[in-house]
Amino acid sequence: MKRQTKYLAASTAIFAGLLVAAWVTHGTGVVRDDPERNIVIPDELMSDLQVKVAYDGDTIWFRYRWPVERPSIFNDVLIYQDGEWVRRGGESLGPNPEFLTEDRVAMMIDDGSVPLFSRYGGYITIGDGLTTFTGVPETDEERTKYLPSTRTDPNDFDTVRPESDLQMLREAGQFIDLWQWRSSRSNPIGLGDDGLVAEERGGDEGTGPYMTNFDSASGQPRFMFDPDVAGYRALSFDDVVAGDVGFNDTYYLSEQTAVPFDPTYEWQNGDTIPRRFLRPETGSRADVVQPSAARWRNGFWDVTLQRAMDTGNPLDDKIFQDGGSYDLAFAVFRNASTMRWHYISLPVSLGLGQPAQIEARRSEPGQPDWTGPWTEIEVYYPGQITWGQLTDARVHPGADRIAQRVPVAARHTEEQLALYGVQMEFREEIRAQWLWTLIASLSLIVGLGISVNLLMRRKEGDA
């Protein structure tokens, strides 16, 4: 082989080698946890949820099953430490390493009154400036999900419409019903939690299944475990964190398991008491309950929630009717995560005697028929994507499709959305790195072009 040809072969080999190296190393070096900016990327971006629905004309049952490696049955707790009761757990950025954030499942329901919901699901409720989003300053009040129609500027959290407008919207059905099940703050006493999303995410009228077990004035819990029932006044923090406290132990405070706190008792460092006291719900908020408290078994939560099909509260609840069609969207909280570190689904249709993705089974009175197959639903980590971004043609190439009401499922898969969600958390960094990659790769191709043009040879005597 001629020397020039050897150089030529070397150039080609270097170019091809760099392409292979680029293939192997691409996509690294930018995406990483950054708690300073509220960025924590879950290890798994995708998960699964199984759903069955049954109804008997009066009651509707929803059954949910999802994988959880280690169940989290505690939320926030109070720990005795050197004379003080200190709060631990509850809200955290990403997974709580001490497993002090409860598991949860949530379901949004609409009856077609909020037409965008059937196409884009929970995305329509993610306005700009929500709590935990990168760059959003911390506020005393949590800035929660809301419907765009409740704002004069849908992208500005602070532009809430006047109360009369909100009432009008509510009466027109412009709200999304929201059911929740909480492994710590509702499950132990067999309850769900009935809420809604309108101008904010909140509970229905009435009181919820838990109250705060802490007296700020005294700096002490209000209740402790009843030693006659539990055999102890407090749990050991080490046992709680290690997962040694289970369903067969008394691990929650309620009327049946608690007594008023005894400040005279000789408390020891590490004594742990739940920061929530569970109680019966009242009003419209009490509509969603469980047939019995759920338990985690064999790596899965298996939870059933039930509600009267017509609660008589049409301003708080979406009323189910035989022959009706509805839209649902689910969120699963696992691995001791909360707030936006959940796994969501795209909108899913529900039919009561109607064709749909989930077809509810007509059942005998009071006997939910679970003989049908599960509906398998992919759920994914959504990252930080707001409705304002999705509908802005300067940011989202598909904004015109949204304006044309093309459903998200027609254009994107769950996996795609998960990956996009993560990349949106690093939008500036990734775009800059991508631009540099474009320039660097172009320079490499130009380098190859010059090299090969210099090294290619013609046989002597040939023009």
Partner 1 sequence: MTRSNTITALTGTAAKARKDNDMNRLGWLARGRRTGLASAAILMAATGAALAHGADGGVAVAVEGAPSWSLSPVYHILVAHFPVGLWVTAYLFILIRSLSDAEFAVRLQKAIWPVAALGTLAGFVTYGLGLTIYPWSAITESPLGRNHIMLATWTLSYWTVMSVLGYRFRRHLFEGAQRWITLALATIGVAVITITGTLGGSLGGTPSLVTKSLGWIGWNVYMTFYLPTWMLVTFFAGAVLLIALGIMGSRAKPAPK
Count of residues in contact with partner 1, rule CB under 8 A: 75
Nearer to partner 1, 170 or 396 (CB): 396
Contact status, residue 318 vs residue 338, Cβ threshold 8 Å? no
Q: Does 159 bind partner 1 (CB under 8 A)?
A: no
Task: Check binding of 427 to partner 1 (CB under 8 A).
Answer: yes
> How many whole angstroms separate alpha carbon 119 and alpha carbon 33?
31
Binding of partner 1 at residue 138 (CB under 8 A)? Answer: no
Closest CB 378 distance from partner 1, rounded Å: 15
Nearest distance from residue 328's CB to partner 1, in Å?
25
Closest to partner 1 by CB, 86 vs 454, is: 454
Among the listed residues 49, 52, 48, the one whose alpha carbon sits nearest the alpha carbon of residue 371? 52
> Between helices 414-424 and 427-455, what is the axis angle to 10°?
100
**Position 404 contacts partner 1 (CB under 8 A):** yes
C-beta of 374 vs 420, nearer to partner 1: 420
Options 12, 50, 59, 375; binder of partner 1; rule CB under 8 A: 12
130/143 Cα distance (integer angstroms): 5
Task: Pick the closer one to partner 1 by CB: 55 or 157.
Answer: 157
Q: CA geometry: angle at 193 spanning 190 and 195, to 5°?
A: 165
Residues 367-396 that bind partner 1 (CB under 8 A): 391-396
Q: Counting Cβ atoms within 10 Å, is residue 298 exposed (0-12), middle (13-18) or buried (19+)?
A: exposed
- Answer for which of 3, 141, 163, 376 binds partner 1 (CB under 8 A) is 3
Whether 396 contacts 386, CB under 8 Å: no
Select 172 or 435, whichever has its Cβ closest to partner 1.
Answer: 435
State how far the Cα of 295 lies from the Cα of 193, in Å rounded to an integer. 17
236: phi then psi, degrees, rounded to nearest 5:
-90, 130
Strand order of the β-sheet with 271-274 is: 84-88, 77-81, 271-274, 235-236
Between strands 300-308 and 296-297, the pairing is antiparallel
Smaller CB separation from partner 1, 336 or 422: 422
Report in angstroms how near the CB of residue 41 gets to partner 1 at its nearest.
13
Whichever of 13 and 86 has its CB closer to partner 1, that residue is 13
Closest distance to partner 1 from the beta carbon of 406 (Å)? 9
State both tokens at 194: 């009935």
Q: 20-49: which residues touch partner 1 (CB under 8 A)?
A: 21-30
Is the CB of 27 or the CB of 162 nearer to partner 1? 27
Least Å from the CB of residue 43 to partner 1: 16
Q: Which helix (H) or strand (E) covers residue 224, if one does?
A: strand 223-225
Which CB atom, from 20 or from 242, has the smaller least distance to partner 1?
20
Spatial neighbors of 156 by CB under 8 A, at least 6 apart, are: 127, 128, 129
Q: Name, in order, each residue with C-beta under 8 angstroms of 303's C-beta and a sequence gap of 6 or more.
A: 63, 64, 65, 105, 181, 187, 290, 294
State which of residues 252, 397, 408, 425 lies at the interface with partner 1 (CB under 8 A).
397
Cα dihedral value 211, 174, 154, 168, nearest 10: -100
Residue from 55, 91, 415, 461 touching partner 1 (CB under 8 A): that is 415
* Residues numbered 431-460 forming contacts with partner 1, rule: CB under 8 A: 431, 433-438, 440-459
Q: Find the shortest distance in angstroms from Cβ 434 to partner 1.
A: 4
The rounded distance, in Å, linking the Cα atoms of 344 and 326 is 18
Stretch that binds partner 1, among 119-127, 211-219, 344-352, 429-437 (CB under 8 A): 429-437
- The smaller minimum CB distance to partner 1, of residues 312 and 449, is found at 449
Q: Least separation, in Å, of the C-beta of 190 and partner 1?
A: 42
Q: Residue 137: what residue type?
A: P
Piece of 77-85, 203-211, 262-270, 413-421 that binds partner 1 (CB under 8 A)? 413-421
> Tokens standing for 137?
């300053």
Nearer to partner 1, 1 or 217 (CB): 1
Near partner 1 by CB under 8 A: residue from 65, 399, 407, 409? 399
Q: Interaction with partner 1 in 94-113: which residues (CB under 8 A)?
A: none
Strand, coil or helix: 83: coil
DSSP state of 132: T
State the nearest-atom distance from the C-beta of 152 to partner 1, in Å: 15
DSSP bridge pairs for 180: 106, 193
Q: Are 281 and 191 in contact (CB under 8 A)?
A: yes
152 contributes a contact to partner 1 by CB under 8 A: no
In eight-state DSSP terms, residue 80 is E
Q: Which is nearer to partner 1, 16 or 229 (CB)?
A: 16
**Nearest distance in Å: CB 452, partner 1:** 6
Q: Which of residues 185-224 bind partner 1 (CB under 8 A)?
A: none
